[in-house]
Amino acid sequence: MPPRLPTCLHLQLEAGNGISVDYSVLEANESAVLAGFTSQSSISRRAFTPSSRQCKPTSEKQRKHRDPYALAQARALKAANLKRQEVLKKERAGSLGNPVRGILTPFVESLDHALPQTVKPSVRATTRASKAEASSEPQPPPADAINETHLNYFVSSSELADALERSHFLTEPTQSSDQDKVDAEVDAKREAADSDKADSEEAESKRREMNTHSQQHAKAQTALARIVSLANGNSQDKTRVNIQRCIDTFGRHNTDQQLKQRAPSNVPRGPGLPPAPEKTPRAGPDTGSSEVQIGVLTTKIRVLANHLETIGRTDKVNKRNLRLLVHRRQKLLTYLRRKERGGARWQNLVNTLGLTDGTWMGEISL
């Protein structure tokens, strides 16, 4: 398309060709057009500003930010809000309890030394013990390991008692094989002369031998008791014994005879329907039920928690392992609560291990 020429140039060309043009009319029309163009451009034109009008603070906001009373009031409101949030957080944590440790119970406290919970002696037992201490009769040597239910190195208390009794019998001083000849000679001496002095020396020597044997046996008994006692074992030995204790305490092979059974499901059984199938009898101790698994996890959680609080503050691997065990126990607790519906098994487990609502309810973040 050819370029357009301005109107003034057209008029000049036409004037040069001898054509008369009324310039006053043209100038009036041109001024009117220019006036309309300038009015339209002024309407559509907008002044440039570096910032938008919405982001520009108003005078009220400026006065508020500069007012010291308003600033102090805002700080006071924020501090009161934060304080209230801390109070609510503590109340919520107190109502739910510690998600890792729960409440300290005698059974949980006994997990630290892997020994059964101690029972306070009665007044009668204390009186008897004081009388026995006051008496002049010799007391037997201490053998705490014999009275313990669980021992180290997979040794039972009955096996240890049998071994000590057999060793006492084997090491006891024996009489001579020619005892008959010795007795005959002693009788002859007694008949021949006064043998009071000989009898006293023989009895004294036998008594010395028996005392020496008793002392040596007492030392051996004390040494064996210290060796097999869990008080001198390491953490792995205590954990192994605690797992066995949880199996014996929460296993259904023991709790079925002690706790009330759950109500059977409401399945209609008419005269024409077959009877309900019987459960398969359990072979051996119960090691896989939810109660036993929760008890074993609680034992491991307590070991890791004690480790992280004492010497493992920077141990990130065990901190992750603790978080995994806590969440696994939470899933098992949720399942058991749904299945038992707050029955005897649930109450026995919660009361024995000191588990609170925080161990299974809501989100657990460590």
Q: What is the mean pLDDT of each run of 10 residues along the chain (366 residues)?
A: 56 50 54 52 49 57 71 92 91 83 91 67 45 42 50 88 91 66 60 62 83 92 90 89 93 90 68 76 88 96 94 92 96 93 90 92 84
Task: State residue 143's pLDDT score.
Answer: 41
Task: State residue 2's pLDDT score.
Answer: 59
Write out the two tokens for 14. Answer: 């036409």
Distances 114 to 13, 100, 223 between C-alpha atoms, Å? 119, 19, 20
Distances 5 to 10, 13, 292 between C-alpha atoms, Å? 7, 11, 101
Backbone angles phi, psi at 346, to 5 degrees: -65, -45
Sign (positive or negative) of CA dihedral 227, 232, 237, 240: positive
Task: State residue 334's pLDDT score.
Answer: 95
Task: State residue 220's pLDDT score.
Answer: 92
Task: State residue 43's pLDDT score.
Answer: 45
CB count in 10 Å sphere of residue 239:
18
Task: State residue 142's pLDDT score.
Answer: 40
Task: State residue 128's pLDDT score.
Answer: 46
Task: State residue 177's pLDDT score.
Answer: 53
What is the rounded radius of gyration, in angstroms, for the C-alpha atoms of the chain?
49
Write out the two tokens for 340. Answer: 């038992």
Please name the amino acid found at residue 90. K
Task: State residue 98's pLDDT score.
Answer: 86
Report d(CA 352, CA 149) in Å as an integer.
19
Phi-psi sector, 182: left (phi>0), alpha (psi -120 to 50), beta: alpha
Distances 49 to 39, 59, 61 between C-alpha atoms, Å? 22, 19, 21
Whats the size of the chain, residue-wise? 366
